[in-house]
């Protein structure tokens, strides 16, 4: 049954993406333009000799941030939209439950996002002339594990949406918070490595810039990455579960 | 008739600064293949009851069983047995076509494969949506959108279906069509359908039994004929040819309302004692009146509903 739900979500995702093709395309173009402005802005302001690996690092960080934004939107914004469409309660009526319906939506979203962002990264590399090492055996697991933490934030945000309804402003702030998580310097703030995306970004840079293999990465850091992001995911799921129960108690699951 | 839905001593109090007692000690059962009307004024608690059964609202106390399973308990399997149209055409994706919507919602219910596809197509055909099955829902009329929402609920083939205002926004012809289809589905597939509607004609036409809710309480649970019988008055209407002198009748029955128009005279007469009907006919005959018809105007469901709800409100205020 869960596979059938996953298939249904996949097809719906594809059809809606097609229906909103202009919106989808303009989102990607906007991200590309913002990246170009940032990249060429930094290049113009900082003397070439002192930039070092900054530009390549920026490329990795930006791609990860874009992926995180897509992942967060998949959950938090989707729940807002579903409530507005009037379909959220229908998702809850699925025999597998709202959580699985939402998770199936996430999984299909992950596939689409991977495809779209791969194209975006390729475009960014061609534009900047900075080519990253894309070792899929290392990049995909690191990306999946890193994004799990963002899904945790998304579940928590979605849970807040179920209760407070108008939380769009909070969602927008999250975009900037995620930037902060990626760029937070570990040397000044040692605790920053425990922020979502931070450790994942560093490890992805080691793979994509330094060419390290997955098994060459320190085991301790890999274990920390997995445990940390699972903790974020679990916490997000718990918030979502508690919020769903509260919304059912208050009879406001379908409100918007 | 075996029981599909059993609601027992259901209470729902919405928490907050001002607690709202939305459902108060409601108990009822619904049998397999029944089409039941859930009636009540706005804010009576109908939707809360439906959502409690669907597991969308947590009851404060009481028990709900759908084929013996608790819809509030995760993994009980009750969700397989339930489908609903809750907010009409808002329950579907307007950016998808009717065919894609039906496919998505049945898929969401874990249903797929050629047999399901064939059933989806059959329903789309029955509801007259085949020609527009590949048009985005947002481009369809409100009546068609409503029909797509109903098809999406029915296509899940659940034994229990809740339809909240299924004929809202439908024109007269489509409304009649939908009523016929619901009756047919209940009869052919032994589907149990609970219809919540403010349209009494729909409920009277489609439902075998009605549950009337007022102020969160169940105030009546009767078959439609039994409910109407409770409110049948002993008023008779006699229509006579011409304009005979009815002074004798009026003297014997001072409450008789006599009106003459054209070449006919109509008499409205309340006769609490059945034997009085013969006396009235004798007096009409003595006056030289020729009877064209004698009828007993029956109450409709709307009158019965209003009487019950007002009585309940008066009792609550007293």
Q: How confident is the model at residue B318 (pLDDT cuts 50, 70, 90)?
A: low
> How far apart, in Å, do the first and last CA atoms of chain A sit?
29
Does B23 lie at the interface with A, CB-CB under 8 angstroms?
no
Residue B97 has pLDDT above 90, yes or no: yes
Q: How confident is the model at residue A226 (pLDDT cuts 50, 70, 90)?
A: very high
Mean pLDDT for all residues in chain B = 88
Structure token pair of residue A69? 């934004």
Does A14 lie at the interface with B, CB-CB under 8 angstroms?
no
pLDDT in tens, A131-170: 888 888 999 999 999 999 999 999 998 888 888 877 778 8
State the pLDDT at residue B50: 94
State the pLDDT at residue A185: 84
B190: left (phi over 0), alpha (psi -120 to 50) or beta: left
Residue A108 has pLDDT above 70, yes or no: yes
Whole-angstrom distance, CA of residue A187 vs CA of residue B198? 67
Interface test mutation site (partner A, options B11, B56, B150, max chain A beta carbons within 10 A): B56
Which string of DSSP letters, residue by residue, matches A66-105? Answer: HHHHHHHHHHHHHHHHHHHHT-HHHHHTSTTHHHHHHHHH
Mean pLDDT for all residues in chain A = 87
Q: How are the residues of chain A apportioned to helix, strand and coil, as percentages rounded to the nearest 5? A: 85, 0, 15
Does A245 lie at the interface with B, CB-CB under 8 angstroms?
yes
Q: How confident is the model at residue B9 (pLDDT cuts 50, 70, 90)?
A: very high
Does B90 lie at the interface with A, CB-CB under 8 angstroms?
yes
Q: How confident is the model at residue A48 (pLDDT cuts 50, 70, 90)?
A: low
B121-138 as b/e: b if 16+ CB within 10 A: bebbebbebeebbeebbe
* DSSP code, position A253: T
pLDDT in tens, A70-81: 888 878 888 888
Whole-angstrom distance, CA of residue A134 vs CA of residue B144? 50
State the pLDDT at residue B275: 82
Cβ contact, residue pair B112, A92, below 8 Å: no
Q: What is the average per-residue pLDDT within B118-125?
A: 94
Higher pLDDT, B35 or B230: B35
Residue B304 has pLDDT above 80, yes or no: no
State the pLDDT at residue A251: 86
Burial of B3 (0-12, 13-18, 19+ CB in 10 A): middle
Q: How confident is the model at residue A53 (pLDDT cuts 50, 70, 90)?
A: low
Q: What is the average per-residue pLDDT within B69-84?
A: 87
- Chain B CB contacts of A9 under 8 Å are 107-108
Whole-angstrom distance, CA of residue A154 vs CA of residue A174? 10
Q: How confident is the model at residue A190 (pLDDT cuts 50, 70, 90)?
A: confident
Does A83 lie at the interface with B, CB-CB under 8 angstroms?
no
Are B102 and B152 a contacting pair, CB within 8 Å? yes
Whole-angstrom distance, CA of residue B47 vs CA of residue A142? 47
Q: How confident is the model at residue B131 (pLDDT cuts 50, 70, 90)?
A: very high
State the pLDDT at residue A49: 59
Which string of DSSP letters, residue by residue, matches A162-224? Answer: HHHS--HHHHHHHHHHHHHHHH--TTT-GGGGGSTTHHHHHHHHHHHTT---GGGS-HHHHHH
Q: What is the average per-residue pLDDT within A82-98?
A: 87
Residue B79 has pLDDT above 90, yes or no: no
């Amino acid at each position: 049954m869960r596979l059938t739900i996953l298939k249904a979500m996949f097809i719906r995702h594809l059809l809606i993406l097609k229906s909103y093709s202009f919106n989808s395309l303009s989102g990607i173009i906007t991200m590309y333009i913002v990246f170009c402005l940032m990249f060429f802005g930094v290049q113009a302001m900082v003397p070439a000799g002192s930039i070092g690996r900054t530009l390549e690092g920026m490329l990795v960080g930006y791609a990860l941030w874009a992926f995180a934004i897509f992942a967060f939107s998949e959950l938090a914004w989707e729940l807002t939209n579903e409530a507005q469409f009037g379909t959220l309660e229908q998702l809850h009526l699925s025999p597998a439950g709202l959580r699985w319906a939402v998770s199936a939506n996430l999984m299909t979203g992950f596939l689409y996002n991977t495809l779209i962002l791969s194209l975006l990264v390729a475009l960014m590399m061609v534009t900047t002339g900075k080519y990253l090492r894309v070792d899929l055996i290392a990049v995909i697991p690191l990306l999946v594990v890193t994004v799990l933490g963002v899904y945790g934030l998304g579940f928590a945000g979605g849970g807040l949406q179920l209760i407070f309804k108008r939380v769009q402003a909070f969602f927008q702030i999250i975009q900037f918070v995620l930037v902060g998580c990626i760029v937070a310097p570990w040397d000044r703030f040692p605790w920053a490595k425990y922020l979502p995306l931070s450790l994942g970004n560093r490890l992805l840079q080691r793979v994509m810039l330094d060419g390290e293999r997955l098994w060459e990465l320190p085991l301790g850091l890999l274990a920390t990455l997995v445990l940390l992001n699972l903790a974020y995911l679990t916490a997000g799921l718990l918030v979502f579960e508690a919020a769903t129960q509260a919304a059912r108690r208050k009879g406001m699951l379908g409100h918007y | 008739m075996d029981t599909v839905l059993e609601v027992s001593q259901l209470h729902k109090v919405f928490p907050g600064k001002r607690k709202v007692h939305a459902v108060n000690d409601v108990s009822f059962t619904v049998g397999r293949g029944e089409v039941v009307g859930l009636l009540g004024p706005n804010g009576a608690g109908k939707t809360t009851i439906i959502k409690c059964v669907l597991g969308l609202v947590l009851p404060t106390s009481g028990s709900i069983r759908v084929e013996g399973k608790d819809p509030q308990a995760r993994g009980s399997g009750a969700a397989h047995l339930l489908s609903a149209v809750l907010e009409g055409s808002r329950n579907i994706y307007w950016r998808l076509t009717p065919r894609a919507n039906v496919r998505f919602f049945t898929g969401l219910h874990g249903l797929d494969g050629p047999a399901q596809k064939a059933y989806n197509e059959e329903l789309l055909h029955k509801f007259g949506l085949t020609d527009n099955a590949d048009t985005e829902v947002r481009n369809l009329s409100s009546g068609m959108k409503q029909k797509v929402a109903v098809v999406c609920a029915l296509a899940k083939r659940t034994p229990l279906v809740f339809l909240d205002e299924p004929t809202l926004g439908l024109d007269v012809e489509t409304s009649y069509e939908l009523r016929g289809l619901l009756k047919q589905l209940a009869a052919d597939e032994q589907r149990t359908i609970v219809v919540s509607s403010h349209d009494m004609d729909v409920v009277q036409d489609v439902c075998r039994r009605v549950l009337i809710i007022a102020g969160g309480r169940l105030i009546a649970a009767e078959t439609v004929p039994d409910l109407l019988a409770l409110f049948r008055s002993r008023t008779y209407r006699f229509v006579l040819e011409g304009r005979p002198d009815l002074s004798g009748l009026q003297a014997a029955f001072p409450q008789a309302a006599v009106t003459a128009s054209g070449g006919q005279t109509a008499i409205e007469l309340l006769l609490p004692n059945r034997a009085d009907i013969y006396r009235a006919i004798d007096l009409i005959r003595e006056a030289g009146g020729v009877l064209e018809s004698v009828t007993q105007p029956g109450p409709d469901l709307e009158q019965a509903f209003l009487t019950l709800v007002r009585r309940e409100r008066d009792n609550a205020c007293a």
